[in-house]
Amino acid sequence: MKILKRIFGIITVILAISFIASCPEAGNDDLGKYMPQGALRALIEPKSIVYDSYAEINTGVLTNYYFIEVGIIRNMYISTLSNIRYNGMTPISYSKTSINETSISQNIKETISKSIKISDTNKKKVDLSLNLEKIPIIGSFIPKASYTWEGTKTKENIETNAIEKSLAEATKQSESETVSYTIGNTGEPAGWHRVALYADYHVYFIVKTSADKQELLGWETVFSVLEDSFYLAQEYSPNGIFDNSPLNDITFDEDFYKYLPDPGIDIIQNIQTDFKSIRDIEKTIKDTGRFNQHADIISFDHFETNINMMKLAGYKTIDFIVKIDAKEEEDGIQYIMLFSSSLPSNDYFLDGVTFEHGGVATKNKGSLSTKWWTYEFDQIKEIPIEKFIVNEFVIRYGASNNKYTTGTNKWQNKNLRVQLHFKQ
Residue 275 lies in a domain: yes
pLDDT of residue 162: 33
pLDDT at 241: 93
Together in a domain, 208 and 329: no
Q: Does residue 266 form part of some domain? A: no
193: in domain:
yes
Say which CATH number the domain at 337 has. 2.60.120
- Distant-in-sequence, close-in-space partners of 231: CB < 8 Å, separation ≥ 6: 23, 24, 197, 198, 199
d(CA 76, CA 244): 8
Whole-number percent of the chain with pLDDT over 90: 37
* pLDDT per position as a tens digit, 201-238: 888 899 999 989 999 999 989 888 777 778 888 899 99
Q: Which of 34-48, 111-125, 157-171 has the lowest mean pLDDT?
A: 157-171
Are residues 275 and 249 part of one domain?
Answer: no
Q: What was the pLDDT predicted at 275?
A: 94
238 in the same domain as 373: no
Confidence of residue 405 (pLDDT cuts 50, 70, 90): low
Single-letter amino acid code for the residue at 40: L
Where do the DSSP E strands lie in 135-247? 148-149, 179-180, 182-183, 191-210, 216-225, 231-237
Tell me, yes or no, whether 83 and 171 share the same domain. Answer: yes
First to last CA, the chain: 41
**Domain match, 109 and 130 both:** yes
Range 401-413 average pLDDT: 77
The answer to whether residues 234 and 284 belong to one domain is: no
Domain hosting 75: range is 5-259
- Is 90 exceeded by the pLDDT of residue 298? yes
CB 208 within 8 A of CB 68: no
Residue where a domain stops, chosen among 231, 259, 287 = 259
**Which of 236, 259, 282 corresponds to the end of one domain?**
259
Q: Does 69 reside within a domain?
A: yes
Please write the tens of the pLDDT for every residue from 148-172: 676 665 443 334 333 334 455 555 5
| Sign of the Cα pseudo-torsion (242, 244, 247, 248, in order) | negative
Residue 264 lies in a domain: no
Q: What is the mean pLDDT of residues 382-393?
A: 92
Closest CA to 205 of 147, 271, 289: 147
Co-location of 241 and 312 in the same domain: no
**Same domain (yes/no): 13, 89:** yes
Per-residue pLDDT at 188 exceeds 60? yes
- Is 8 a residue whose pLDDT tops 50? no
Based on the domain organization, do 181 and 50 belong to the same domain?
yes
pLDDT of amino acid 306: 82
95: phi > 0 → left, psi -120 to 50 → alpha, else beta; which?
beta
Residue 203 in any domain: the answer is yes
The reply to whether 17 falls in a domain is yes
**Is residue 302 located within the same domain as residue 337?**
yes
122: phi then psi, degrees, rounded to nearest 5: -95, 10
- What is the C-alpha to C-alpha distance for residues 264 and 211, in angstroms, rounded to an integer? 13
Q: Buried b vs exposed e over 129-154: b needs ≥16 C-beta within 10 Å?
A: bebbeeeeebeebebbbbbebbbeee
The residue among 235, 259, 283 that closes a domain is: 259
Strand residues in 287-348 grouped as ranges (E): 296-299, 317-330, 333-339
Would the pLDDT of 415 be above 60? yes
On whether both 51 and 196 belong to a single domain, the answer is yes
Buried b (16+ CB within 10 A) or exposed e, 76-90: bbbbbbbbbebeeee
Q: What is the pLDDT of residue 24?
A: 38
**pLDDT tens profile 314-361:** 788 999 999 999 998 888 889 999 999 999 999 999 999 998 886 654
Q: How many domains does the chain have?
A: 2
Question: For residues 259 and 170, which has the higher predicted lDDT (pLDDT)?
Answer: 259
Q: Is 265 inside any structural domain?
A: no
Question: Is there a single domain that holds both residue 215 and residue 328?
Answer: no
